Amino acid sequence: MLPFVPMPLWLRDLVWYGVTLAATIGAFKLSETIAVKSLAAPLGRAELFWLRLFALLLSAKLIPAVFENQAYDALVLLGVLLGLAALSQNRPLGRRSASIRRARRSRFGTAPIS
């Protein structure tokens, strides 16, 4: 919330609600993408509609709580889902994965850490 300090209170609330709304929409879209990728058979348009409707109905009670409390939950969920989406693509996560491989090799005595 530190970047919002110079803003007037009404603008701060408006911007925070926009950030929370964008994070919520992004979380739903990422969840849908991960779920569709994990299924063996692709979903048709009608099935995808019912999946979206079912997900919204299941979470309808919890969505307003995030907006009422102005919590950071939606941003944390978006970060977790971004990590899951990266893991579901079977690609290395960057420099961190290389350092993990190097640490594993040294742990098992196959190569020293330099």
- For the stretch 51-93, pLDDT in tens is 889 888 988 888 787 777 767 777 888 888 888 888 777 655 5
102 falls within a domain: yes
What pLDDT is stored for residue 62 in this prediction? Answer: 80
4-26 tens-digit pLDDT: 788 888 888 888 888 888 988 88
Nearest to 56 by CA among 92, 32, 87: 32
Query: Is residue 77 in a domain?
Result: yes
The per-residue pLDDT for 19 is: 87
Q: What pTM value is reported for the model?
A: 0.65
Give the pLDDT score at 95.
Answer: 55
The pLDDT assigned to 52 comes to 86
Handedness of CA 30, 38, 59, 50 (dihedral sign): positive
- What range defines the domain where residue 64 resides? 2-107
What was the pLDDT predicted at 82? 85
The yes-or-no verdict on residue 106 having pLDDT over 80 is no
Q: At residue 112, does pLDDT exceed 70?
A: no
For the chain, give me the number of helices (H) and strands (E)?
A: 5, 0
In a domain, 85, yes or no: yes
Residue 114 has pLDDT above 60, yes or no: no
Residue 97 in any domain: the answer is yes
Residue 113 lies in a domain: no
Q: What pLDDT was estimated at residue 92?
A: 55
| Close Cβ partners of 30 (under 8 Å, ≥ 6 residues apart) | 78, 81, 82, 84, 85
Q: How many domains does the chain have?
A: 1
Assess if residue 114 is contained within a domain.
no
